[in-house]
Structure 1
Amino acid sequence: MSDAAKCPSARRVTVMINEHVADVRLNRPDKHNGLDWAMIDAILGAQAELRARAEEGGLRAIVLSGEGASFCAGLDMAAIMGEAARVPQLLVAGANGCTPERNTVQQLALGWRDAGVPVIAALQGNVFGGGLQIALGADVRLCDPDARLAVLEIAWGIIPDMGISVTARGVRPDWLHELSWSGRKVAAREAQEAGLVTRLVSNPREEALALAREIATRSPRAIRCITRLYAEALAAPEGEALALEARLQSDLLGQPEHMECVGARLEGRTPRF
């Protein structure tokens, strides 16, 4: 069963949901998926649609990619400044349907996590500035070996501010400083060494979709608990982290999905959820 989930400015972002996996594609290939106002609005719309689908129980994983030669080359500054009056609103917390803790540009990266399901980004070509920050909002980043990545905001005299203070916590601080200060473009292998990229693969989108489909066959409750565990426990004091582990495990043991996993393993079949 598949269906297209249309959102505002659908030309800029497409969403297809098939067998509980959302295939989300930035769709401005002639501009390397540069972020203009229509793209920003479309991303926010897609995120809202995915949150709704997850709440209905119809979503188990998200794959985020870009059509054409690049994942996303970052802000299309000429297009953005064409509506300069809108720019200050980007930094207002709670605007455009964001939570009180986030502004619009932070939502563009962090909003992928709101569905509470694994998010896998497939990267190729140019992954610059805001494009890299959006990719960092994913849980896993599969990257073409020939891709180039950059924290490019310094070239515009600004700082990276799309939630990178949260999403880049797994990146080596010395690399993050150097790349942010210089704006240097790095090859995919160097980006992997820095912690910006999870794995290098020859066909990122196909690999990402295959991983998402595998995740979709696993216990949805266990996947949600794993996601919550790492989101909350890794930054928590030891006692709180261990208590959360135990609480989440207690909520799973003996429940229908756990028993279905056990039964399927013993019977040598695929579990049914």
Structure 2
Amino acid sequence: MQTVLFDVVEDYIGLLTLNRPQAANAFSVELLKDLNDCLNQIEKHDHIRVLIIKGSGEKAFCAGADLKEREKMSDDKVVETVKRIKETIHRIESLPIPVIASINGAAFGGGLELALACDIRIASTQALLGLTETSLGIIPGAGGTQRLARLIGPGKAKYLIFTARRLTAEEAYKYGIIERIADRNKLVETVLAEASIIAENGPIGVQQAKEAIQSGLNTDLKSGLEIEEQCYKKTIPTQDRIEGIKAFKEKRKPHYKGK
């Protein structure tokens, strides 16, 4: 069985599905390989404007590392596998297009670290989230200590990581970890609707906005404003910008081509 599925829906939206429902979509060595193979396709795809990542089944988005598989690994192999997870998650974060995590159920450990690398997180009312590694005697090793602290602040991140607390969707929303909550039966519909709104906007503009935000967060305000200026300049000579102005004048919906 293919552990990761990829398809293009509604023309411009990519749908990537972690497909190990019997193992809570946990990161096995095989899943990591299949996920990287799918990312190779996505990185070469010219027409995708938004990517959705979801887990198959109804119980889990991704439960993190496959602990049964890890139990049989040597210490060196464990370190190597965690590094592979971190590198894979970084690839997802580095995609130029917006990525939405559709969190249908449990997102623990590496599963939440994956979601934190996405640009937007939408969770069902049944979702449970947490960086629970300290309860296993380890720490988040695929970017969780860094991304969570940047997202919600160091104090709250330390509290959640030190306590290994599991949050409901409502609690995660109040912490600022997720951007929206959807009814369990309407999660797919809600995520697709949000992805469609993004896909209708100018793709070059959206990508440059992502670049400005991502790169700007890693520097001081003055440098961030310079990055924003450079990203803005990249939108000026595009056909999309002319189309946007023309559509506004003609009071119609713009038809962007990503050029």
TM-score by length of 2: 0.89
> How far did 1:226 drift?
0.1
Q: Tell me the residue number matched to 1:214.
A: 197
Q: Tell me the residue number matched to 1:157.
A: 137
Query: Per-residue displacement from partner, 1:211-234 (whole Å, max 9, x unpaired)?
Result: 112211211111111011001113
Q: Give the conservation status (yes or no) of the 8 Å contact 2:131–2:144.
A: no
Q: Give the conservation status (yes or no) of the 8 Å contact 2:16–2:51.
A: yes
Cα distance in structure 1, aligned partners of 2:84 and 2:109: 16
One-letter identity of the residue aligned with 1:271: P
| Residue in structure 2 matching 1:189, options 158, 167, 170 | 170
Cα distance in structure 1, aligned partners of 2:230 and 2:65: 42
Cα distance in structure 2, aligned partners of 1:80 and 1:187: 27
Query: Per-residue displacement from partner, 1:136-158 (whole Å, max 9, x unpaired)?
Result: 11000001122111111112211
One-letter identity of the residue aligned with 1:153: E
Q: Tell me the residue number matched to 1:99.
A: none
Confirm or deny that 1:111 pairs with 2:91: yes
The 5 Å alignment of 1:45-124 reads 45-53=37-45, 57-69=46-58, 70-84=60-74, 86-90=77-81, 103-124=83-104
Query: CA-atom RMSD, angstroms?
Result: 1.8
Q: Give the conservation status (yes or no) of the 8 Å contact 1:109–1:136.
A: no
Query: Per-residue displacement from partner, 1:81-131 (whole Å, max 9, x unpaired)?
Result: 33446323235xxxxxxxxxxx41212322212321000001122111111
TM-score by length of 1: 0.85
Identity, in percent, stands at: 24
Cα distance in structure 2, aligned partners of 1:238 and 1:27: 41
Cα distance in structure 1, aligned partners of 2:117 and 2:188: 17
Q: Tell me the residue number matched to 2:117.
A: 137
Cα distance in structure 1, aligned partners of 2:159 and 2:200: 40
Cα distance in structure 2, aligned partners of 1:139 and 1:80: 29
- More displaced 10-residue stretch of structure 1: 188-197 or 263-272: 263-272
Q: Tell me the residue number matched to 2:25.
A: 33
Q: Could you list the structure 1 runs, at least 4 aligned residues long, displaced by more than 4 angstroms after superposition.
A: none
Cα distance in structure 1, aligned partners of 2:62 and 2:196: 24
Cα distance in structure 1, aligned partners of 2:78 and 2:44: 28
List runs of 5+ in structure 1 lacking aligned partners: 1-9, 92-102
Aligned residues: 250
Cα distance in structure 2, aligned partners of 1:259 and 1:130: 43
> How far did 1:254 drift?
5.1
List runs of 5+ in structure 2 lacking aligned partners: none
Q: Give the conservation status (yes or no) of the 8 Å contact 1:172–1:195.
A: no
> How far did 1:250 drift?
2.6
Cα distance in structure 2, aligned partners of 1:220 and 1:197: 23
Q: Give the conservation status (yes or no) of the 8 Å contact 2:89–2:117.
A: yes
Q: Tell me the residue number matched to 1:200.
A: 181
Cα distance in structure 2, aligned partners of 1:125 and 1:239: 40
Q: Tell me the residue number matched to 1:7.
A: none
Confirm or deny that 1:230 pairs with 2:220: no
Cα distance in structure 2, aligned partners of 1:194 and 1:47: 30
Q: Give the conservation status (yes or no) of the 8 Å contact 1:80–1:87.
A: yes
One-letter identity of the residue aligned with 2:116: L
